[in-house]
Structures are given as C-alpha cells and as structure tokens.
Amino acid sequence: MGILNVTPDSFSDGGDWLDEESMERRIDQLLGEGADIIDVGGESSRPFAEPVGVEEELRRVIPAIHKIRQQSSIPISIDTTKAEVALAAIEAGATMINDISALRQDPDMISVARTFTGPVVIMHMQGNPADMQLAPYYEDVLAEINTFFEEQIRWLEERGLSRQRIIVDPGIGFGKTVEHNLIILKNIRSLKQHGCPVLIGHSRKSFLGRLLHLPVESRDCLTAQLSAFCAEQEVDILRVHAVGETRRALVLHRYLTTGTPYPA
C-alpha cells in the first residue's frame, strides 16, 4: 500500500504533493514502483496534528482520486475518519476505507461502509492524535489491542459489516511507546486470531528514529527491513512511503528464505 498524503503537515512528506504537478509525479512514482493499493489521505494523523474540516479534506483528496483513476484501475483506499469524505471518495473511485478511529469517530461511517462492498481497515488507537502520545499506558498491550478488535469487529458485524470485509491495523505509533511498538511487531501473528487480514503502518515512524537515532528522511531502509520481517510474520498489507525500496527488500528476503522470487 503506497502512501499519497495530500496534506501540508504530515510528519514525513507534508506539503510535498499538494499541487497538481507534484501530485501527478507522486502517483506516477507509486504506480511505477509497483504499489498494489494507493492510500490517499487529506488530514494528518501525526501526534498533535490540527483537525481539518470536511470541505478542506474533500478539496485535497477528491482531485487525487480522480488523477489516479484517470491512469489506473488500482485499488484506492481513502484514509479518513469522516463519513462525508469517505462517501465522496467512493463515488469518485475509491474502493476501500482506512479509518484510524475504527469507525467510531463519525456515527455515519458504518452507514457509508454499507453502501459499497470493499474492504474497511479498522485501527487501534489509544486516545486521538491530539493526545495519544502524551502518556500511553497499557497493562498488557497485546491483550488490550486484541480485546479491542474482538469487541469492535463484533460491534461492526451486528451492524451489517461482515468480518470478511474487515482489515485490522494495530496502530503502530498511535498511542504507543517505542516498547509497545516493538512488542506488537514481535507478536504480529497474535492479530491473526480475528480471521481478518492484518495491515501494518510502520513507514518512517518516529520509533525507528529513536531506536537508531535517524531523521525521518533516513528511515526508508529501516522501513524496508522491517517490512521483510513483517511479511515473514504473515502481515497481509504493508503501508509504506517508499514502495520501490520495500518491494526490493521483499524480493531479496523471499528469495533468501524460500528460493522463490516475490511476485512481480
């Protein structure tokens, strides 16, 4: 899953793809490097990010979705917590919802999810972007995340969203310390108990910088290495900025461990 942030303030590439020319260049890059899904986001979810209104978010994401659709039939994910944005994105050509609030923030999101048949990503987050990194605490981070998914999936099923459409994301960096993130990553297979595909969004995250004292622009190699580890742990979707570097790491890892090249 390649990331297209059309935001001025995302932690890694905020402001890079806002104008039409740069957006087209980024779309060409993601398609050329072999992304399987493009995730379009118009509101930053970095710690302490300022919220964005519906109209502004729509102004950012809908042209991006149209641009992708003009070039490709690739699956498009809309990264939003707002039902109105999700619905407009689906009407514009998006085929998937990626909601960091797990469909809890906007009460109308479940209704939007029932209007189409594509996948829906639900993410675990302790708190919200404004306060999630102030003092994250868990008695047992894995148990609490899995309990959350068990309860949320049941809640969604009761409202007409089948488990077969749900993808779970443990929310690396969303209300977690470095230690919490590492525990999750070392035990990713525990997320498989829900019978849903697993998505990991680890790309360029601050815990990688803190572990190895690297600025955000120098974390793609670490992201690619961690992607190979995640693939080995049966993660289904890797959400990354550097698609090409990640795919090369997966090709090499797959060849070294199985002798079979990673699918092109």
Dig out the tokens for 175 from the structure: 């209300």
Rg of the chain on CA atoms, in Å: 17
- Sign of the C-alpha dihedral computed for residues 166, 185, 134 and 218 taken in this order: negative
Q: Where are the alpha helices (DSSP H) in 93-242?
A: 109-113, 141-158, 178-186, 206-212, 220-232
237 membership: H or E segment, kind and range: strand 237-238
Cα–Cα distance, 155 to 247 (Å, whole number): 36
pLDDT of residue 164: 97
Topology at the third CATH level for domain 2-258: TIM Barrel (3.20.20)
Backbone angles phi, psi at 39, to 5 degrees: -100, 115
pLDDT of residue 16: 58
Cα–Cα distance, 19 to 7 (Å, whole number): 10
Domain boundaries, the chain: 2-258
pLDDT of residue 17: 53
pLDDT of residue 36: 97
pLDDT of residue 237: 98
Tell me which residues are annotated as active site.
205, 239
pLDDT of residue 227: 96
DSSP state of 1: -
Q: Mean pLDDT by 10-residue block, N- to C-terminus, for the chain (264 residues)?
A: 83 58 90 97 77 91 95 97 98 97 96 97 85 81 97 97 98 93 96 98 92 88 94 96 95 86 58
